[in-house]
Amino acid sequence: MALVHRLRPSHRQPLALPRPWPACAQGLLREGAFWLRGSGWGGDLLALPGGPLLESRWNGHRWITTLDGQEDLGRPFDILEQATPCGHPWVGALSYELACSEAGLPHQPPGMNTLGLSWRGVTRALHVQGGRAEIWSWGDPPPDEVHERLAQTCSLSRPQLGTLASLWSESTHRDAVEAIRARILDGGFYVANLCVPFEGAWSGDIVAFALSCSRRADPPYGALLPLDALTLLCLSMERVIGKSGTALISEPIKGSAPGTGDPFADKVAGKALCLDPKERSEHTMIVDLVRNDLGRVAERGTVRVSELMALQAYPTVQHLVSRVEATARRDAGLAEILRSLLPGGSVTGAPKHAVCAHIASVEAAPRGFYCGALGWINDGDFELALPIRTAQIFDGHLIYWTGGGITLRSEAAKEWQELQLKTQVMKPS
């Protein structure tokens, strides 16, 4: 279904872009526009600054949620569900720790005043697809100054990113992998997703960096979200959960191989990935977990795997992707669906509670918005990506997490190499 029908703007006005897209959006992005970019979103959606703001922050004991500065005592997902049916869409993100908290899963405690949820109501947006642009608005007709702002040129400082250094060593990672394999042998769990943060010094213009990385990676679920003092640059390939009417879809990813641009080498690597018993076993377990999670909010007998282990290729990586579909129960609201599906099974493991407890005890830091959820919500419908391949940029630093599923067949050296491969997308050009 086209994005215009899902977001239902009150007014649509064609716009002739004065300069090539997305370079012409630089000024609006620097002013704080939220950008969802890619085929998974149904084109590029540039949510213009303004609109109500919903935030949740950790106070050391619980999440404090405010809507335009007014505190609400409810749980964050319940407040999000109550706020979003209001005649206009919302764009934003939520963190892994907040998702775990809402789902009753173990997690590392975030730091004081850590932002765990940030959603902004969209009253005006620019939509671009197939070279055609429209100004959308909810309420009053769109203003005329958008074209002028797109026509303006601006000078962007060249982004500078220092070497991304892992916050733990290869030997520490090897020990963590072997500890998970031992737990699997003991019957504690089947697969665990072990993640590692990389950090680099950062300076320059975030917008220029985002344009460069998006052009290189061409992700279906790209995003640039300025969230207070933190900016998220997402280059995700994974839809964690989408809803249109009563239709629910999740597309878990498990299994990675390099994407080099060499057709022959990539074909060989892709075929090897499809036949790899470790990757196939890991992927099957995650698909079963997603089926179970969807089954908690679906009409009985409607959960099905419509596509299993399809190979999808991107400029820098190849993945095995499945599609799991279901029909939502009529009484299943946004909050219940999010608590059932988040955090996504592909970034936790199975069974979820046992795995989340283990990784909370061994990972180097709280994950933050990495592995949470990111996207749009509109009156019961939503499209949420899993923020993998996602940089969290703040205070002169860039934090970039990456990880992989550990099974009994995992080899620590190969898992470490996969982490290094997944950092290659974070390079200014």
- Residue by residue, DSSP assigns 166-207 as ESS-HHHHHHHHHHHHHHHHTTS-SEEEEEEEEEEEEES-HH
d(CA 223, CA 230): 14
Q: What is the pLDDT of residues 6-33, one digit of tens each?
A: 999 999 999 999 999 999 999 999 999 9
pLDDT at residue 143 above 80? no
Compute φ and ψ for 130, nearest 5 degrees: 60, 30
> Are 375 and 91 in contact, with CB atoms under 8 Å apart?
yes
Poorest-pLDDT segment among 79-83, 84-88, 270-274, 423-427:
423-427
43: its two tokens: 């084109």
> Are 186 and 140 in contact, with CB atoms under 8 Å apart?
no
At 260 the pLDDT is 82
Share of the chain above pLDDT 90, in %: 82
- Tell which CATH classification among 3.90.380.10, 3.30.1600.10, 3.50.30.40, 3.60.120.10 matches the domain 160-204+237-422: 3.60.120.10
Cα dihedral value 83, 85, 90, 96, nearest 10: 60
Q: What is the pLDDT of residues 292-339, one digit of tens each?
A: 999 999 999 999 999 999 999 888 889 999 999 999 999 999 999 999
d(CA 135, CA 128): 9
Catalytic-residue membership of 363? no
> How would residue 156 be classed by pLDDT, with cut points 50, 70 and 90?
low
pLDDT at residue 65 above 90? yes
d(CA 14, CA 32): 23
Among residues 102, 251, 254, 418, the one annotated as catalytic is: 254
Domain boundaries of the chain, sorted by first residue: 3-151, 160-204+237-422
Q: Which residues contact 169 (CB under 8 A, 6 or more apart)?
A: none
Among residues 238, 282, 415, 418, the one annotated as catalytic is: 238
Compute φ and ψ for 356, nearest 5 degrees: -60, -35
What rounded mean pLDDT belongs to the chain?
Answer: 93
Compute φ and ψ for 164, nearest 5 degrees: -75, 115
Catalytic-residue membership of 271? no
Q: What is the pLDDT of residues 364-404, one digit of tens each?
A: 999 999 999 999 999 999 999 999 999 999 989 999 999 99
Instruction: Characterize 120-142 residue by residue with b for buried, 16 or more Cβ atoms within 10 angstroms of its Cβ, and e for exposed.
Output: bbbbbbbbbbeeebbbbbbeeeb
pTM of the entire structure?
0.95
